Amino acid sequence: MDYFTRTKIRSIILDEKIKIGEKPIILGWVRSVRQSKNVIFVAVNDGSCMGTLQGVISDPDSFPDLEKLSTGSSVRMVGELVESQGKGQKYEITVESLELLGGADESYPLQKKRHSYEFLREIAHLRPRTNTFGAVNRIRSKLAYAIHKFYQDRGFYYIHTPIITASDAEGAGDMFRVTTLDLENPPRVDGKIDFNKDFFSTATYLTVSGQLDGELLATALGDIYTFGPTFRSEKSNTSRHVSEFWMIEPEMAFCELDEDMQLAEEFLKYLFEYALTECADDMEFFGKWIDKTVRETLEGVIKSDFERITYTEAMDILVKCGQKFEFPVGWGKDLQSEHERYLTEKHFKKPVIVYDYPREIKAFYMTVNDDGKTVRAMDVLVPKIGEIIGGSEREHRHDVLRDRIVECGLDLDDYDWYLDIRKYGTVPHAGFGLGFDRTLMYITGMANIRDVIPFPRVPRWARF
């Protein structure tokens, strides 16, 4: 086709690389066809940006394909670029040739009306062609790039941790099993399934986090980050949870909790700033149609100094605030989303980093504080969403870590390699995990995490 010779609509209307009088080849999908007197206007979008390019046809009789042209069809359109007579666009094309590549009949579900997000999830194979999901997917791509840029510019190395794993990195048991055993008739020993006969000669799962392997690399390369898919089988059917999500996990050797918090704050601010400056046209769309406050919210975060409070201080605020919560508050209880939102939206009115959580409610790998009761965990909470980052300083004392693994009911044999890096040249190290999809919710103002992922996976839903 004309792959290398066509012009992307973006380079006409945003980058202004094509000049008046030139004759670009446009390849895209028809958004609308409209007739006024004897003139036909065809709006084409090619996905390169939000905008459409209007083709103007003043002699319809010489275009045999016109009859079959409708919303959703794909076209090849060529003509002279002129300044638009009409309102709403700067340029248009005086169409010289218009070829229908693939038609779309009246059953095409994305006719010109607003659809509910629920409906659009059912047609996730077509929703990328809407304005909203076009913008979401473009921002996803840009932000993925920004993440690499942030870390690469700071000398971090990008590492790939395995997706199939035999260990539970969070010790929470929310893992999907990976197996090639015959589920109808699995091999057994002593009445139990014999995973020795499974593909890897051991029970295996999809990873919940790349952190443990990340630590191995950080204690060799210094500063590393992972950016990959993670999987959790927790049955949380909320607007902020999915079963498959992408996480960015930096890990830094010779780093303690304060420095970890500082990096997390800089990282979030960088991403928000990047979205505002590098994705301006799509951000304008979100501000206009999805959430009017989105720019203000991001700018607020960029300007603020994140509040830092201990878990004990946070609980104190929650216990004394007089607000009614669905879940109970009190020292030792985990912070629920409603509590996190109270702290960020009502009390501090800015992002809050809560640190030093009770050891009972956090993972086995976190440094135990001298009080023996709390661990060096930190969660970054933001208005509207609550937790967006979870991180910690890692326990680097061999004996303390070994005791914690046992205390958490995990099998020491599964973690011998993890303990080894505490045996040979152990160093303080720390890191965190940022949920990529929650970050995109925040940036776009989309209210449901299912609408920032092309094909989300949630309980009872793995279609497409």
Residues that bind ligand 4AD (CB under 6 A): 169-170, 209, 211, 232, 241-242, 245, 247, 249, 387-392, 431-433, 435, 437-438
Question: Measured between alpha carbons, how far is 41 from 97 in angstroms, rounded to an integer?
Answer: 14
DSSP string for 115-144: --HHHHHHTTTTGGGSHHHHHHHHHHHHHH
Q: Which does 275 bind (CB under 5 to 8 A by kind): Mg ion, ligand 4AD, none?
A: none
Q: Which does 283 bind (CB under 5 to 8 A by kind): ligand 4AD, Mg ion, none?
A: none
* Tokens coding 291: 């959430």
Q: Which does 265 bind (CB under 5 to 8 A by kind): Mg ion, ligand 4AD, none?
A: none
Least distance between ligand 4AD and beta carbon 247 (Å):
5
Please tell me whether residue 390 binds Mg ion under the rule CB under 5 A: yes
Neighbours of 292 (CB within 10 A): 11
Residue owning tokens 């992408």? 246
Helix (H) or strand (E) holding 109: none
Binding range to Mg ion, per CB under 5 A, among 3-11, 289-297, 361-369, 383-391 = 383-391
CA atoms within 13 A on the CB side of 151: 22
Least distance between ligand 4AD and beta carbon 457 (Å):
10
Q: Residue 79 or residue 390: which is nearer to Mg ion going by CB? A: 390
Please tell me whether residue 435 binds Mg ion under the rule CB under 5 A: no
Least distance between ligand 4AD and beta carbon 145 (Å):
20
Residues 28-57: x where in contact with Mg ion by CB under 5 A, - otherwise, as a string? ------------------------------
Q: Which does 138 bind (CB under 5 to 8 A by kind): Mg ion, ligand 4AD, none?
A: none
What beta strand segments (E) does 326-461 contain?
352-358, 374-382, 386-394, 429-435
Residue owning tokens 């008739």? 185
Binding range to Mg ion, per CB under 5 A, among 112-120, 185-193, 351-359, 384-392 = 384-392
* Tokens coding 235: 């049955």
* Tokens coding 158: 């990008």
Least distance between ligand 4AD and beta carbon 388 (Å):
5
Q: Residue 138 or residue 240: which is nearer to ligand 4AD going by CB? A: 240
Paired residues of 80 in beta bridges: 94
Question: Measured between alpha carbons, how far is 76 from 90 in angstroms, rounded to an integer?
Answer: 21
Strands 307-310 and 157-158: unpaired
Q: Which does 100 bind (CB under 5 to 8 A by kind): ligand 4AD, Mg ion, none?
A: none
Give the residue nearest to Mg ion (CB).
Answer: 390
Q: Which does 245 bind (CB under 5 to 8 A by kind): Mg ion, ligand 4AD, none?
A: ligand 4AD
Q: Which does 367 bind (CB under 5 to 8 A by kind): ligand 4AD, Mg ion, none?
A: none
DSSP string for 58-72: S-GGG-GGGGG--TT
Q: Residue 390 or residue 445: which is nearer to Mg ion going by CB? A: 390
Least distance between ligand 4AD and beta carbon 312 (Å):
20
Question: Measured between alpha carbons, how far is 107 from 104 in angstroms, rounded to an integer?
Answer: 8
* Tokens coding 200: 């890897």
Least distance between ligand 4AD and beta carbon 417 (Å):
17
Q: Which does 78 bind (CB under 5 to 8 A by kind): ligand 4AD, Mg ion, none?
A: none
Least distance between ligand 4AD and beta carbon 227 (Å):
12
Q: Which does 437 bind (CB under 5 to 8 A by kind): Mg ion, ligand 4AD, none?
A: ligand 4AD
Least distance between ligand 4AD and beta carbon 270 (Å):
17
Question: Measured between alpha carbons, how far is 399 from 458 in angstroms, rounded to an integer?
Answer: 39
Binding range to Mg ion, per CB under 5 A, among 282-290, 359-367, 387-395, 445-453 = 387-395
Question: Measured between alpha carbons, how far is 436 from 196 in angstroms, rounded to an integer?
Answer: 36
SS3 labels along 243-286: CEEEEEEEEEECCCHHHHHHHHHHHHHHHHHHHHHHCHHHHHHH
Query: Shortest CA distance to 10 belongs to which of 43, 42, 53, 41?
Result: 53
Paired residues of 35 in beta bridges: 40
Question: Measured between alpha carbons, how far is 441 from 447 in angstroms, rounded to an integer?
Answer: 7
Least distance between ligand 4AD and beta carbon 432 (Å):
5
Query: Shortest CA distance to 50 belongs to which of 130, 104, 146?
Result: 130
Least distance between Mg ion and beta carbon 150 (Å):
21
Sites of contact with Mg ion (CB under 5 A)? 390
